[in-house]
Homo-oligomer: A and B are copies of this chain.
Amino acid sequence: MTSFMKPISFASDNNSEVIPEVLEAIESVNTGQVAAYGNDSFTDEVRSSFKRAFGDSATTFLVFNGTAANILCLKALLKSYEGVICAESSHLNHDECGAPEHIIGTKLLTLPSPNGKLQAKDISTKMVRLGDPHCIQPRVVSITQPTEYGTIYSIQEMKDIKAECVKYGLKLHIDGSRLVNAATALGVSLKEITSDIGADAVSFGGTKNGLLLAEACVFFDKQIAKHVPFYQKQLLQLPGKSRFIAAQFQTFLKDETWRRYSQNSIERAREIHELVKSHPNVEITQNPDTNMVFAKIPRDLIHYLREKYFFYIWNEKTNEVRWVTSWSTTSKDVQDFAKALQRR
């Protein structure tokens, strides 16, 4: 059952270490007694940092993991008869063990997403049977930025999706478990890809990007946000010792620390791409926009590489694999990996 790690992994950024200055930040707040459940000055300060990063209208709640961040955001945006338009390939749809359906009781209305992205033009196809009580009523569009395939929505694509949301009275949620990678790749601020676009709620990820255990839900409408403290507790997401999550984000957001580490993730993925793309046995299947490279490679090459490196086979039938880099991946790791691949 238990599978242990090879020394070097391209399996997931979830496998990475914690950024040392984040650990230091945790230690630095381990001073005396402070109020629990977010009523402490550290959590208060990080809420202000979120306002600086995401815009003044941001109200932030610290939670435990990425699935929970998505579920809490959506819970606050939905009535029980309202559904979520999302990409077929989304984490919401495939990787949360039915939490959207079971914990919120909502229905996902999925759109085709060959490159991980839902298309603005497809949203209207779900705007049917409006007002018909026999049918779930669409209420939220949820996009993953960057997507599960590492691809990114351009600012224009996000604006086009928001325009459809406005047209149909839909709310916009961003699953941003790796949002920093999108901001870095696009060269924009966090505000520019969230509140400036008109997002209503954002799941802002820390864990996959070098934090220890830290995710956040950011809301931009006070009328919605005022109910969230209750949902946060009821959905098992109110941290007792909140300061230790706050400290992680404080360091992450300060001077855009995240951008520096995210930059490394992206550069290492591009380095993999550069080194392997011309190899005759490698067929790149997705744009390496952020920290992932998807490729089809022969089955025996998969086996050979997996003896030394851990990574996932994305599609057993097509021999498509996924290579993920992280803040701690080194150029040497990448070059050794590419050499191993090229040797065959």
Question: Contact residues of A with B, CB < 8 Å?
Answer: 1-5, 7-9, 11-12, 14-18, 20, 23, 26-27, 30-37, 39-41, 43-44, 64-68, 71, 75, 79-81, 83, 94-99, 101-103, 105-107, 133-137, 207-208, 212-213, 227, 229-241, 244-245, 310, 326, 328
Q: CA–CA, A80 to B30, complex, Å?
A: 35
A36: B residues at CB distance < 8 A: 11-12, 14-15
Which 5 interchain pairs have the tightest Cβ spacing? Answer: A81-B230, A102-B105, A14-B36, A133-B229, A68-B236
Rounded to whole Å, the gap between the CB of A39 and the closest CB of chain B is: 5
Between-chain CB contacts (< 8 Å), 12 pairs:
A2-B41, A9-B33, A12-B36, A33-B328, A64-B65, A65-B236, A65-B240, A95-B135, A97-B136, A97-B233, A99-B236, A102-B234
Q: CA–CA, A1 to B66, complex, Å?
A: 27
Rounded to whole Å, the gap between the CB of A264 and the closest CB of chain B is: 14
> A81: which of B30, B66, B227, B237 is its contact (CB, 8 Å)?
B227
Closest Cβ neighbor of A329 among chain B residues:
B33
Closest Cβ neighbor of A12 among chain B residues:
B36
* Contact A244/B98 with A8-B33, A23-B30, A26-B23 known, Cβ cut-off 8 Å: no
- A134 contacts B40, C-beta separation under 8 Å: no
- B64 contacts A239, C-beta separation under 8 Å: yes
- A34 contacts B5, C-beta separation under 8 Å: yes
Question: For chain A, what secondary structure do more than half of its interface residues adopt (helix, strand, loop), or is it mixed?
Answer: loop
A26: B residues at CB distance < 8 A: 23, 26, 212
A83: B residues at CB distance < 8 A: 98
A15: B residues at CB distance < 8 A: 33-36
Closest Cβ neighbor of A66 among chain B residues:
B240
> A30: which of B17, B64, B95, B102 is its contact (CB, 8 Å)?
B17
A37: B residues at CB distance < 8 A: 14, 133-134
- A233 contacts B67, C-beta separation under 8 Å: yes
Q: CA–CA, A80 to B134, complex, Å?
A: 22
- A97 contacts B230, C-beta separation under 8 Å: yes
Q: CA–CA, A229 to B134, complex, Å?
A: 9
- A106 contacts B98, C-beta separation under 8 Å: yes
- A135 contacts B94, C-beta separation under 8 Å: yes
Closest Cβ neighbor of A230 among chain B residues:
B81
A105: B residues at CB distance < 8 A: 98, 101-103, 105
- A18 contacts B234, C-beta separation under 8 Å: no
* Contact A236/B35 with A64-B64, A135-B94 known, Cβ cut-off 8 Å: no
A5: B residues at CB distance < 8 A: 32-35, 40-41
- A232 contacts B133, C-beta separation under 8 Å: yes
* Contact A80/B240 with A44-B2, A229-B133 known, Cβ cut-off 8 Å: no
Interface core residue of A65, A67, A133 (most chain B CB under 10 Å): A133
A18: B residues at CB distance < 8 A: 30, 241, 244
Q: CA–CA, A21 to B197, complex, Å?
A: 45
